[in-house]
Chains A and B, each alone.
Chain A
Amino acid sequence: MLELENVIKTYDELRAVDDLSVSIEPGGIYGLLGPNGAGKSTTIRMIMGIIHPDEGRIRIFDEPFSEKTKERIGYLPEERGLYRRMKVLEHLVFLGEIKGISSDVAAKRAAEWLERVDLDEWADKNVDALSKGMQQKIQFVSTVLHDPELVILDEPFTGLDPINTQFLKDIVIDMKDQGKTVILSTHLMDQVEKLCEKICLINKGKKVLEGDLSRIKLDFSMNVINLKFSGDIKVLENHPEVEKVRSFGQDLSVTIKEGADPAQILRAALDKGKVDRYEVGEMSLHDIFITKVKEEGGEVEDETLKNS
């Protein structure tokens, strides 16, 4: 469906995308994740043909990019807006038309969509009469109005209220059920954990990790044990199978060495103290990202990510 091969894009001194190769299969929801400034938007703009890669190759629908390709993709940019002085229905028809569908089809579908999002009474109102939340709905509708095979959403949840967040998730799941492909780009990694089947983590323009989300989770989670422990934590810290202990009061997050048996650690803890809770932990995507970046000697610069 979509292939990036050794794509490089440099702005002045900054290498925004650094030798990135990604292959996305048709169908399902694909997460393109990474902190702000990781190169996600640049990558997407290159996919959309808005900017061109300095090096490398991009193929969509198994063919090189052409203007016709744009008509098969629905794109919701991070920087998005509408003409304020246009009527809602007129606006949707215009956006449909420049995606290559006839004005009749566009008008019919737009009317259906407006009904679905409860904005049918606003069809003949100017866009600037709509609330911000309503305008966001119009933007989602315009992204899928031409019934694209591939939908790319860049930071779609930024600035959304809970209702619109849910609404957008519904649309995304709807698209997936119809057999379409959705690419979701965001820095809010934990928010898409439940949506995506496959992910690609990028940092500073480079790919950090790629693959099935469930597989990745499994790989990393075997290494962490979450304990509620009262006793001397030195027992755990000095244990030969333990890599690292993070303590939050009585709540401990213990990272064990590769191949170690979690049960052995539990036994050691029970010997020297009291254990109220024990689980082989789920590592959040966010923690996986940080672990992985550090493993490779990299740094995570993004402040929002550190604190999240």
Chain B
Amino acid sequence: MKLLKIAKREYLQRVKKKSFLIGTILGPVLMGVMILAPALILNRGGQRQTRLEIVDMTGSISSELQESLTDTLDDGRMMFDISPLEVSGRDEFEEFKGELNRRVSEGIIDGYLFIPSDITTEGKAVFYGKRVGDIKSIGRIRSELTHSVVSRRLSSEGMDYSVVKDLIEKVDLKTIQVEKGEEKESDFDFLYFSSFIFIMMLYMTILMWGIAVERSIIEEKNNRIIEVLLSSVKPFDLLGGKILGVGSVGLTQYAIWGVFAAGLSAYGLSMGGTIAKFSAFSPVTIVFFIVYYLLGFLFYSTMFAGIGAICNTDREAQQLQTPVVMALAFTIIIPMMIIQNPDGTFATVISMIPFFTPIVMFMRINVLTPPAWQIALSILIMLGSIYIAGQVAAKIFRIGILMYGKRPDAREILKWIRRA
């Protein structure tokens, strides 16, 4: 089997490279950073103390706020450093504003809160500050201010805040996913999050290894070894061996990640993590993940191989591959729509279009298992599409790999496909 010899070389050359090791280790690290970074940055905003001055026209709310805004930061300091400001009336406040604004600009204080005397009836107050985007601090101020105002309104009607609060307590609506007659507690955030990690992995690996096939063909054209190879093996074996070899590199990478993930989750469990959280990474999910990776990789890498065969430089290939990459990228901008309505017409139709099937169908399976016939159909569609793409690519490949110089135009390529 010469195909296997080609695959073996392709596989070993890649796995032995340092860049493979680095990519395999750095990949998940980078992904972790990408996912965690926004959360970390958001959190850090709340880690600063807010020095707040309160101009209170009601005369009583500011002291209530001083008592209620007693949150502490991670380092044990108070979240708010509040100092009330005595002003006799609105006019004096307007005069004093210039001075207050100066203090904000110079960073002596972070902001000041103006509470008008009619706040109970009008329900309006103003916060002046530099960091108005500090959602966490401003949210706290808003909710405690609301608490004070609402209490006042209620007591003026003869009602007690804590009593009313209990009376208007929200109903806790639990969501339970029913799958194959079994009940499973579901958590939308987690579902979305885990699906997104999986589809990002699918997207990145299909793209990365598909383009690796393309580049490898261009490289062989450039270093002029292609004709030596063709004098020993059939074009089909060369193409097939290449795809098999590179695809196996992808699988190896998954295996390494899988071992790490298993180790981590085992560690997580031993540290008292919840089993429920890991149910999304069930063996069934893993199997489907591998299946759709292979289908997606075979389909896309075949197309990338065809592109590689008609290009002489990576730059040329980049132009040609753009539509293919866009088709793949489309699937990672629609996950919200799929997850919200995984059984809808849109999701169902999209999951049957070969360009989108690998990622979209996998996403649907991850969220809610679609009927078995749909899964089977999607796999059949993929196999058929791979076969067709393979036939076309083989024909382009056969002629294209021996062409140097000018890139053939679309008409010429069509002629090859018809003739070969």
Contacts and interface: CB of A to CB of B under 8 A. Distances in A.
A48 B9 CA distance: 23
A50 B227 contact: yes
Contact of B234 (A45, A67, A95): A67
A97 interface: yes
Interface string A48-76: 10110000000000000001001101010
Contact of A79 (B5, B6, B227): B227
Interface stretch (A82-90, A233-241, A267-275): A82-90
B117 to A, nearest CB: 79
Contacts of A94: 5, 9
A99 interface: yes
Contact of A82 (B13, B223, B231, B232): B223
B231 A80 contact: no
Contact of B5 (A67, A82, A98, A139): A98
A75 to B, nearest CB: 4
B225 A83 contact: yes
Given A50-B402, A98-B2, A73 B231 contact: yes
Interface in B212-250: 220, 223-225, 227-234
Contact of B231 (A50, A84, A97): A50
A77 interface: yes
B213 to A, nearest CB: 16
Q: Which residue among A51, A67, A86, A98 has the maximum number of chain B CB atoms within 10 Å of its CB?
A: A98
Given A98-B6, A99-B232, A85 B13 contact: yes
A121 B130 CA distance: 71
Contact of B228 (A85, A97, A142): A142
A81 interface: yes
Q: Interface majority SS on A: helix, strand, loop or mixed? A: loop
Contact of A81 (B5, B9, B223, B402): B223
A138 to B, nearest CB: 11
Contacts of B5: 94, 97-98
Contacts of A81: 223-225, 228
Q: Which residue among B228, B229, B230 has the maximum number of chain A CB atoms within 10 Å of its CB?
A: B228
Nearest to A41: B227
A71 B231 CA distance: 9
A40 B69 CA distance: 90
A79 B224 contact: yes
Interface in B366-413: 402, 404
A55 to B, nearest CB: 14
A70 B231 contact: yes
Interface size, A (range): 20 to 34
B225 A82 contact: yes
A51 B231 CA distance: 10
Q: Which residue among B6, B227, B233 has the maximum number of chain A CB atoms within 10 Å of its CB?
A: B227
A100 B6 CA distance: 12
Contacts of B220: 83
Given A50-B402, A98-B2, A98-B233, A80 B9 contact: no
A106 B13 CA distance: 19
Contact of B229 (A45, A67, A84, A98): A98
A128 to B, nearest CB: 10
B6 to A, nearest CB: 7
A75 B228 contact: yes
A99 B233 CA distance: 8
Contacts of B228: 75, 77, 80-81, 95, 139, 142
A67 B404 CA distance: 25
A207 B252 CA distance: 55
A22 B395 CA distance: 29
A71 B227 CA distance: 15
A188 to B, nearest CB: 20
B231 A75 contact: yes
Given A94-B5, A97-B5, A98-B6, A70 B232 contact: yes
A94 B229 CA distance: 10
Q: Which residue among A48, A50, A70, A97 has the maximum number of chain B CB atoms within 10 Å of its CB?
A: A50
A238 to B, nearest CB: 53
Nearest to B420: A52
A99 B228 CA distance: 10
Nearest to A154: B227
Contacts of B2: 98, 100
Q: Which residue among B9, B229, B234 has the maximum number of chain A CB atoms within 10 Å of its CB?
A: B9
Contacts of A73: 231
A49 to B, nearest CB: 8
A109 B248 CA distance: 30
Nearest to A47: B231
B223 A83 contact: yes
Contacts of A97: 5
Interface string B1-30: 010011001000100000000000000000
Contacts of A45: 227, 402
Nearest to B229: A98
Given A51-B402, A77-B224, A83-B13, 10 more contacts: A50-B402, A75-B231, A77-B227, A77-B231, A79-B404, A80-B225, A82-B225, A97-B5, A98-B233, A142-B228
16 contacts: A50-B231, A50-B402, A70-B233, A75-B228, A77-B224, A77-B227, A81-B225, A81-B228, A82-B223, A83-B13, A98-B5, A98-B6, A98-B233, A99-B232, A100-B2, A142-B228
Interface of B: 2, 5-6, 9, 13, 220, 223-225, 227-234, 402, 404
Closest 9 CB pairs of A and B: A81-B224, A77-B227, A75-B231, A81-B223, A98-B232, A81-B225, A79-B224, A48-B231, A50-B230
